[in-house]
Amino acid sequence: MTSKQLDIKKKIVAKTARVKSVDLHPREPWVICSLYTGQVQIRNFENNTMVKSFNLTEHPVRCVKFVPRMNWFICGADDLLIRVYNYHTMEKVTEFEAHQDFMRAVAVHDSLPYLLTSSDDMTLKLWDWDKGWSNTMMYEGHAHYVMAVTFNPKDPNTFASASLDRTVKVWNRTSSVCNFTLEGHTQGVNCVEYYHGGDKPYLISGSDDSTVRIWDYQTKACVQTLSEHKHNVSSVLFFPDRPFILSGSEDETLKIWHLQTYRLEASVDYGMQRLWSLCAKPGSNKLAIGCDHGCLVLRIGKEDPVFSMDQNGKIVFASNHDVIQMQLKGNVPADTSDGEKITLAPKEIGTCEDVPRQIIHNANGQSVAMVSEGEYTINSAFGWKAQSMGQCVDFAWSTDPRTYAVLESTTSIKLFKSFKEKARIQPTYGTKLFGGPLLGIKGDQQVIFYDWESQMPVRQIEIQPKRVIWNEAGELAAVVTDTAFYVLRFNKAIVDEALASGADIPEDGIEDAFTLVTEIEERVKQGAWVSDCFIYVCRNQRLNYYMGGEVKKIAALERPMYLLGYIPRDNRVYLTDKARNIVSYQLFQSVIDFQTAVVRGDLTAAAEQFLPKIPEGQKDAVATFLETQGFKELALEVAVESEQVFRLAIALHRLDKAEGIAEKDDDPSSKLKWKQVGDLALQHAEFDLAAKAFKKGEDYNSLLLVYSSTDNLEGLKEVVSLARSKSRHNAAFTAAYLAGDLKQCVELLCESDRIAEAAFFARSYIPEVVPDVVAKWKKSLGASKFSDAIADPAEFPNLFPNIGALFAKKEEKEAEAEAAAAEEEEEAAAPPPAAVASPVKSEPAEVSSPVSPAKESEQSSPVKQSSPVKESSPVEQGSPVEQSSPVKSSPVSPPAAEQEPQPATPQQDDESDSLDNFDQSAPSPSGDNPAADDDDFDKMFD
């Protein structure tokens, strides 16, 4: 295969029963196959999966077609029925008997509701689905089976048919009599197809005589006969977007012929036995093939559109052999949105004998080179007149608009100036040329750059580039490979000096000719420079630009797009797709100029000349760029959006600016800003500002740090209040503890459902609240063995040696107070006593009356006699409170020896020991001496 356009790649190979007919969907990556076994299958040829499968009949299905505008497919089978199905819902639309014998082919009109069928009954029929699938016309005239039928894509009223009667007939849709007959085949004709291009009125047919014939249906003459097949030719077509004719045969081969020379370009056999059907669609390079053993889908060549745009916005497209021009200038509305389709009127300006594979404008846009297989043509951009032509493998323009190079062979390159040959270069091996300030010649494993004037080698680089793209100044070059692109700086002064010196150039060239600026690991499809900004489309469908070591995204593209270029006056990047739909994305020239000045170190020009021209909406992007380049102070001056200004103010430690933005921000995110302001204020020892910031940011932990570090008691109390109101219990507890508010500590523990911790904390630091906390603890546990196992020091003081006595003393005092109150009530109710002198005069209030039995009963109350503290507490005999109590010295109190000892409580077990140990080792707010704490507690209760 000699043609680069014959880059054939298999997309899928699906092994099935015999495939009699195939068709491609124009929008989805689907191929539909009709099988000899009575099935119709739809496959996705991108991922080789089955989309839908229809079991229709036990008879062969010989023909099938998509009807995309109706979401249908139509097929004909040997049971004489036409079937119509919705391929999305799989519902049957209709079925009806169409002919009296087997159907061989169906054809669907591109725009009208018409279906044509051909049959072994030697007739063709026209069906109108808008009229209930009525048979509106029948065409007779063939003398044998009618094997194929097809509509003319350039004339909606005509169609052609092929028959085993060895003829091809052309019909008018409105007449049952054929327009004319094409004769020449010596055996039956199996297939017929029209040429889709506008430059040739051609038909093609394939026959059982093993030949392919090309007909001019205007002159009714046979233009060419192709006779390389060894068996019946079953299917033929003109490949839509390539200059090829394809034919499939029962000799099991696919043959590809050049449309202009009729030379056989390729003959391939995929081992699928006989070929029965071929299908290709305009705008696609996919070919579907139906064979005995299944179907194949091939990709022939690449689908990339062929185009070029000059600096004024004139776009030249190649559409097969046609050359089309579109003009952007004056046709792009000012309010065009990014990604919006721009409607441009195409203008046909010429034709090419061969389909171009490359279009290249020269530096000033006045000449256009059209490069096809084996030759080039240079046309003037104004009037499209040919200026030069010749044989070539590849072509490249210099930055001088009059100079170009032509690669004639791998060892011969001609240089032209003003269309006249001026020099030759004979490389060891060259396969591709790259234009620009230097001429690049791609070799086996390297690219060599030559000086245009002296033809001397400048530098050899061990790399395999796909493209070399220079900026306008000739200072930067993007060398694009399969996996990355490299930005090189061309040191022209060094090269000129070396060439002028006349010294021998080393084999690798001038060492300092290029300097590597950066390497970006992205696969670039197309690229273009604007000053020092490299705009490119990468393989993952993103439009990016590179500037100063940074890559910025312009847009994510919804479909495969191709870069046309950048128009400064429009401040827009233009792209096209395969169907020549033009879209654009905004990129301001003033932003590019500003960034270029910054990268070159000219900050004065950037600030004074370009910054005022930048639109307000682009200043934040410019500020981001300045920040990445290390100019944060300038970025802070340029930035507009508050978030970016705040971030830069924090980075630059500008507390005043950061505080002002945080004050203005009413968004919930302002809390985060205040926290950052507080952290920065702490770094600068601005404690008042830090406290204010943490308070507004509700960062109570940091606020606690500030107040505790500065010994601010009132501040700690404020933290308790604020944190408690926001349920920040940890911060509130710590602040309350540091402020000495122990009761609030207990309350916070209870509020946070940590009642067990509250009980232990109270036992260690504030015993008087232990009974209340224990009650809450028991209540939270409910009626259970765990609740019963918890002892209250007020009920069982003997279990709590260090604090139990305090509750016992409290009970004694309460009992004494109750007894005294009872005596006073009795004295008030008793008659006046006899006038007998009292034997005890030092305590008249206590012995003023004889003690009655009732009084004696009160003195022996269970509170006094049965209290566990009375028997087991060490406070009983040694406490000074015991000795000074009036009740203890009363003569009516029974002696201690007469009281019955109390048995030890069953709850005094190992757990009480551990609690006692915990109590003895617990820290004390007043110091490390537990005895001192006991004294304090005594005073508290006294």
Q: Which residue has the tokens 């918890």?
A: 790
pLDDT at 127: 97
pLDDT at residue 910 greater than cutoff 70: no
- Tell me the helix, strand and coil percentages in the chain, rounded to 5: 25, 35, 40
**Exposure string for 748-772, b = 16+ CB within 10 A, e = fewer:** bbbbeeebebbbbbbbbbebbbbbb
Partners of 97 in beta bridges: 81
Contacts of 101 (CB under 8 A, 6+ apart): 80, 119, 120, 121
Contacts of 666 (CB under 8 A, 6+ apart): none
**263-283: per-residue pLDDT in tens?**
998 999 999 999 999 999 887
Partners of 527 in beta bridges: 536
Strand-strand pairing, 275-280 and 123-128: unpaired
Cα end-to-end span (Å), the chain: 114
Contacts of 856-865 with CB under 8 Å at 24 or more apart are 856/892, 858/819, 858/822, 859/819, 859/887, 859/890, 859/892, 859/893, 859/894, 860/894, 861/815, 861/819, 863/811, 863/812, 863/815, 864/812, 864/815, 864/893, 865/894, 865/899, 865/900
pLDDT at 830: 67
Partners of 404 in beta bridges: 397, 416
Residue 458 contacts residue 495 (beta carbons within 8 Å): yes
| Distance of alpha carbon 182 from alpha carbon 406, whole angstroms | 45
pLDDT at residue 927 greater than cutoff 60: no
Residue 300 confidence class, pLDDT cut points 50, 70, 90: confident
**599-611: per-residue pLDDT in tens?**
888 888 888 888 8
pLDDT at residue 59 greater than cutoff 90: yes
Type and span of the H or E element at 743 = helix 742-751
Residue 908 confidence class, pLDDT cut points 50, 70, 90: very low
The DSSP symbol for 579 reads T
pLDDT at residue 11 greater than cutoff 50: yes
| Distance of alpha carbon 328 from alpha carbon 319, whole angstroms | 19
Contacts of 347 (CB under 8 A, 6+ apart): 324, 325, 326, 327
Longest dimension (CA), the chain: 167
pLDDT at residue 289 greater than cutoff 50: yes
| Distance of alpha carbon 620 from alpha carbon 243, whole angstroms | 51
Residue 831 confidence class, pLDDT cut points 50, 70, 90: low
User: To the nearest whole percent, how much of the chain has pLDDT over 90?
Assistant: 57
| Distance of alpha carbon 355 from alpha carbon 482, whole angstroms | 26
**514-552: per-residue pLDDT in tens?**
999 999 999 999 999 999 999 999 988 999 999 888 898
How is the beta sheet containing 562-567 ordered, strand by strand? 562-567, 572-576, 582-586
Residue 286 Cα to chain centre, angstroms: 29
Token duo for residue 747? 């309350």
pLDDT at residue 834 greater than cutoff 60: no
Type and span of the H or E element at 576 = strand 572-576
What is the secondary structure of 617-641 as a DSSP string? GGHHHHHHHHHHTT-HHHHHHH--S
| Distance of alpha carbon 171 from alpha carbon 194, whole angstroms | 13
User: To the nearest whole percent, how much of the chain has pLDDT over 70?
Assistant: 86
pLDDT at residue 903 greater than cutoff 60: no
| Distance of alpha carbon 624 from alpha carbon 638, whole angstroms | 9
Instruction: Cite the DSSP H helix spans in 65-190.
Output: none
Contacts of 222 (CB under 8 A, 6+ apart): 182, 184, 213, 214, 215
Mean pLDDT over all residues of the chain?
A: 84
Q: For residue 899, give Cα distances in angstroms to 275, 527, 883.
A: 122, 109, 18
Residue 653 confidence class, pLDDT cut points 50, 70, 90: very high
When pLDDT is averaged across residues 677-703 and rounded to a whole number, the result is 91
Residue 808 confidence class, pLDDT cut points 50, 70, 90: low
Type and span of the H or E element at 408 = strand 403-409
When pLDDT is averaged across residues 643-658 and rounded to a whole number, the result is 90
Residue 32 Cα to chain centre, angstroms: 33
Token duo for residue 210? 């093993």
| Distance of alpha carbon 193 from alpha carbon 282, whole angstroms | 14
pLDDT at residue 700 greater than cutoff 50: yes
Residue 345 Cα to chain centre, angstroms: 35
| Distance of alpha carbon 105 from alpha carbon 149, whole angstroms | 6
**65-96: per-residue pLDDT in tens?**
999 999 999 999 999 999 999 999 999 999 99
**386-435: per-residue pLDDT in tens?**
999 999 999 999 999 999 999 999 899 999 999 999 999 999 889 999 99
| Distance of alpha carbon 393 from alpha carbon 669, whole angstroms | 63
Type and span of the H or E element at 244 = strand 244-249
Determine how many CB atoms are found less than 10 A away from the CB of residue 623: 24
Residue 317 contacts residue 309 (beta carbons within 8 Å): no
pLDDT at 73: 97
Residue 348 contacts residue 324 (beta carbons within 8 Å): yes
**168-197: per-residue pLDDT in tens?**
999 999 999 999 999 999 999 999 999 987
Could you tell me which residue, 835 or 580, shows the higher pLDDT?
Answer: 580
- Give the three-class secondary structure for 247: strand
- Give the three-class secondary structure for 19: strand
- Supply the pTM of this predicted model: 0.64
pLDDT at 886: 32
Residue type (1 letter), 798 = N
- Give the three-class secondary structure for 415: strand
pLDDT at 841: 39
Token duo for residue 763? 């036992």
Strand-strand pairing, 403-409 and 412-417: antiparallel
Contacts of 712 (CB under 8 A, 6+ apart): 706
What is the secondary structure of 472-519 as a DSSP string? TTSSEEEEE-SS-EEEEEE-HHHHHHHHHHTPPPPTTB-TTSEEEEEE
Angle at 654 between CA 650 and CA 659, to 5 degrees: 80
Residue 5 contacts residue 257 (beta carbons within 8 Å): no
Residue 617 confidence class, pLDDT cut points 50, 70, 90: confident
Contacts of 424 (CB under 8 A, 6+ apart): 412, 413, 414, 415
Contacts of 208 (CB under 8 A, 6+ apart): 164, 185, 187, 188, 189, 190, 232, 233
**851-892: per-residue pLDDT in tens?**
333 333 333 333 333 333 333 333 333 333 333 333 333 333
Contacts of 257-260 with CB under 8 Å at 24 or more apart are 257/212, 257/226, 258/3, 260/353, 260/354
pLDDT at 804: 58
pLDDT at 938: 39
How is the beta sheet containing 294-300 ordered, strand by strand? 8-15, 294-300, 286-291, 275-280
| Distance of alpha carbon 274 from alpha carbon 252, whole angstroms | 4
pLDDT at 60: 96
pLDDT at residue 665 greater than cutoff 70: yes
pLDDT at 873: 34
Helix/strand/coil (H/E/C) assignment for every residue in 333-394: CCCCCCCCCECCCCEEEEECCCCCCEEEECCCCCEEEEEECCEEEEEECCCCCEEEEEECCE
**467-516: per-residue pLDDT in tens?**
999 999 999 999 999 999 999 999 999 999 999 988 888 888 999 999 99
Helix/strand/coil (H/E/C) assignment for every residue in 520-568: ECCCEEEEEEECCEEEEEECCCEEEEEECCEEEEEEECCCCCEEEEEEH
